[in-house]
């Protein structure tokens, strides 16, 4: 019974094993970045950048069809362009970063949907928007694993400057020239993981596996190391249960995974140990006594 | 140009110069905030920078850190390199909701030694402990910075400055909105630095504190009003003149004329 419910789908079907590996790669690579995005109050920036990838991927699609390489390169270029352009606009004009980012990503999203729907079918559009985790080929899997490995290596290398860049950027600038480089590497890693994630979960959902586990973990711990560990664990559990749910109940996989992560978030929001609803209510009661 | 009291140049050559301003002007968008500053800060001096609001005090410190390029003139630091300068800004941009501990925040003062990748070994940990003890934060190592009060954060930032171990320390209103106990403790840290021969420039509002603890004062009102021993600089006449000079220049839109000297 337990075997059939939890393990047999993966034992019997290669595509399920591939999907699981792809999701593990995305979970491990993306969640630490999600933690930093959240701590820097850039969660919506991640969302905006995920949308911004679309026209790049769409142009890649236009040139080479549903080709992994072309769509990846296109997505990377578009994502970085929007990230840098909105940063530039913020520094050079009166517009705040959130507004300029929103402007750029809305333009990108509309452009992307337009390009795909004029040239491709609705199926293609669905593939780009919602991913195809059950149809990951070798090349896609290699790409996902490579991105995850690179992210972890770069994070390990740049952990101290990155933490300092988040906690006290002014100080980092005063003692080191790494500030701008660190920020750039961080943005690049975010874009890379979003591009990787979009092959598995689609452009709309890729950011979910980045942010939701991080947001959920925040209700359980205040230390950055444990935060990353918790977030990655939640992402892995969500991927695994999402895949199983989608297998047993014939649900679309990407949304199933993200919804499980959403479930973790809601439960943490209510029951978590740090700043959750229950905990806030309790501390108010104590204050009243 | 105002009267310049160069009381510091006592022996002319016996005291070496830490910071020399030469016709130094600073500003934003071509609006000068500091005009044609011409003076020298002797090495090892403890100098308060005072002046009315909008006198360009904070701007002057930003100029010294190099984050704001001069409009004209120049500033030279003698034998000091840019990494020999440590700076505590007025509104520190420390994100207090970020989950790092007091120990981790303070240990970053060792950046020059450990850099981005170096290990913080036992001897460095001991140094962090000493710095925390010097600012009265022993026992707070593991606390998250978000759980500290404003005064405790300022103590931690002073501990970080201690570890930076710079010959030139710039403080922008370090005792603003901080309780009396903390201020007294931190003034002792500043005096300790002075005793160690460091050069300290501190922007301050509280003239009583300046008179009590700072031997030198630089009175600024966009232009230099006076610079020298505190008792000679902080006269009623000088302070009145500083206020007048600032009012003459304030109120948007303003055009400040730079007089040819």
Burial of B183 (0-12, 13-18, 19+ CB in 10 A): middle
A223 in contact with chain B, both atoms CB, cutoff 8 A: yes
Instruction: Please state which of the ranges A89-98, A150-159, B247-256 shows the lowest mean pLDDT.
Output: B247-256
Name the CATH code of domain B1-80+175-261 (choices 1.25.40.80, 2.40.70.10, 3.20.20.80, 3.40.50.300): 3.40.50.300
Q: For residue A223, what pLDDT is reported?
A: 86
Which of B65, B94, B144 faces A222 most closely, judged by CB atoms? B144
pLDDT, tens digit, for every residue of B117-161? Answer: 888 888 888 999 999 999 999 999 899 888 898 889 999 999 999
A169 touches chain B (CB under 8 A): yes
Nearest to B184 by CA among B147, B158, B160: B158
CB contact A229 to B (< 8 Å): no
Nearest Cα residue in chain A from B95: A167
Res. A145 pLDDT band, cuts 50 70 90:
very high
Percent of chain A with pLDDT over 90: 39
ipTM field: 0.79
Question: Hey, where are the domains in chain B?
Answer: 1-80+175-261, 92-166
> Between residues A67 and A157, which one has the greater pLDDT?
A157
Asked if the model's pLDDT at residue A190 lies above 70, the reply is: yes
Contact B112 A160 (CB under 8 A): no
The chain-wide mean pLDDT, for chain A, equals: 87
Whether chain B has a CB inside 8 Å of the CB on A157: the answer is: yes
B chain contacts of residue A228, beta-carbon cutoff 8 Å: none
The beta-carbon neighbor of B89 closest among A39, A170, A224 is A170
Q: Could you tell me the residue ranges of all domains in chain A?
A: 2-288
What pLDDT shows up at residue B1?
A: 38
- The strands making up B216-221's β-sheet, listed across from edge to edge, are B85-88, B168-172, B199-203, B46-50, B216-221, B223-229
Return the higher-pLDDT residue of A127 and B6: A127
- Give the CATH superfamily of A2-288: ABC transporter involved in vitamin B12 uptake, BtuC (1.10.3470.10)
Our CA angle for B162, B197, B177, nearest 5°, is 45
Residues A174, B92: C-beta atoms closer than 8 Å: no
Q: Does A168 touch chain B (CB under 8 A)?
A: yes
State residue A288's pLDDT score.
67
Put simply, the answer to whether A171 touches B117 (Cβ < 8 Å) is: no
Whole-number Å distance between alpha carbons of A190 and A186: 6
Chain A residue with Cα closest to B93: A168
pLDDT at B254 over 60: no
Sign of CA dihedral A19, A24, A30, A34: positive
- Measuring CA to CA, how many Å separate B152 from each of A27, A223, B110, B139? 38, 20, 20, 12
Q: Is A46 exposed, middle or buried (0-12, 13-18, 19+ CB in 10 A)?
A: buried
Task: Find which of B66, B89, B100 to mutate to test the A interface (most A CBs within 10 Å of its CB).
Answer: B100
A2: Cβ contacts below 8 Å, ≥ 6 apart = none
CA distances from A247 to A14, A202, A250 (A): 13, 18, 5
**Mean pLDDT of the residues in chain B:** 85
B124 and chain A in contact, CB less than 8 A: no
Q: Among A126-130, A272-276, B25-29, B169-173, name the most confident range.
A: B169-173
Residue B172 forms beta bridges with which residues? B203
Contact B99 A176 (CB under 8 A): no
| Residue B119 CB coordination number (10 Å) | 7
Q: C-alpha dihedral over B167, B170, B175, B176, to 10 degrees?
A: -170
Higher local confidence (pLDDT), A6 or B6: A6
């Amino acid at each position: 019974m337990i075997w059939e419910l939890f393990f047999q789908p993966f034992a019997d079907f290669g595509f399920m094993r591939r999907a699981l590996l792809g999701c593990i790669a995305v979970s491990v690579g993306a969640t630490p970045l999600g933690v930093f995005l959240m701590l820097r109050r850039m969660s919506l920036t991640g969302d905006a950048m995920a949308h911004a990838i679309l026209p790049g991927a769409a142009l890649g699609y236009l040139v080479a069809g549903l080709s992994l390489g072309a769509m990846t390169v296109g997505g990377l270029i578009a994502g970085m362009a929007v990230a840098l352009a909105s940063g530039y606009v913020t520094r050079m004009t009166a517009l705040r970063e959130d507004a300029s980012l929103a402007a750029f990503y809305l333009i990108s999203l509309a452009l992307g949907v337009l390009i795909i729907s004029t040239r491709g079918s609705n199926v293609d559009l669905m593939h780009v928007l919602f991913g195809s985790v059950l149809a990951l080929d070798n090349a896609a899997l290699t790409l996902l694993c490579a991105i995850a490995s690179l992210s972890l290596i770069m994070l390990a290398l740049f952990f101290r400057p990155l933490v300092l860049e988040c906690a006290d950027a002014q100080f980092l600038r005063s003692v080191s020239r790494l500030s701008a480089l660190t920020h750039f590497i961080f943005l690049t890693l975010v874009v890379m993981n979003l591009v990787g994630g979009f092959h598995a979960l689609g452009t709309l959902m890729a950011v979910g596996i980045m942010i939701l586990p991080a947001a959920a973990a925040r209700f359980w711990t205040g230390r950055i190391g444990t935060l990353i560990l918790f977030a990655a664990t939640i992402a892995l559990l969500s991927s695994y249960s999402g895949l199983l749910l989608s297998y047993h109940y014939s649900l679309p996989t990407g949304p199933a995974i993200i919804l499980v992560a959403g479930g973790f978030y809601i439960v943490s929001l209510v029951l978590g140990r740090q700043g959750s609803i229950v905990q806030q209510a309790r501390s108010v009661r104590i204050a009243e006594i | 140009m105002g009267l310049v009291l160069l009381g510091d140049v006592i022996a002319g050559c016996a005291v070496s110069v830490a910071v020399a301003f030469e016709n130094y002007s600073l500003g934003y968008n071509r609006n000068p905030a500091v005009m044609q500053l011409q003076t020298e800060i002797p090495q090892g001096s403890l100098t308060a920078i005072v002046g009315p609001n909008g006198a360009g005090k904070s701007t002057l410190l930003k100029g010294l850190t190099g984050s704001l390029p001069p409009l004209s003139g120049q500033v030279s630091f003698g034998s000091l390199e840019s990494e020999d300068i440590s700076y505590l800004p007025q509104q520190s941009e420390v994100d207090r909701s970020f989950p790092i501990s007091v120990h981790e925040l303070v240990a970053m003062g060792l950046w020059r030694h450990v850099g981005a990748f170096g290990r913080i070994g036992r001897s460095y940990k001991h140094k962090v402990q000493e710095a925390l003890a010097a600012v009265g934060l022993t026992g707070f190592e593991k606390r998250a910075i978000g759980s500290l009060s404003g005064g405790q954060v300022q103590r931690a930032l002073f501990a970080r400055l201690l570890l930076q171990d710079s010959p030139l320390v710039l403080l922008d209103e370090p005792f603003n909105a901080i309780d009396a106990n903390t201020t007294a403790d931190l003034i002792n840290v500043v005096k300790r630095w002075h005793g160690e021969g460091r050069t300290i420039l501190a922007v301050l509002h509280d003239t009583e504190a300046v008179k009590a603890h700072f031997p030198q004062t630089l009175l600024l009102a966009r232009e230099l009003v006076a610079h020298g021993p505190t008792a000679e600089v902080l006269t009623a006449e000088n302070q009145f003149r500083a206020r007048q000079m600032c009012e003459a220049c304030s109120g948007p839109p303003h055009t400040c004329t730079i007089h040819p000297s």
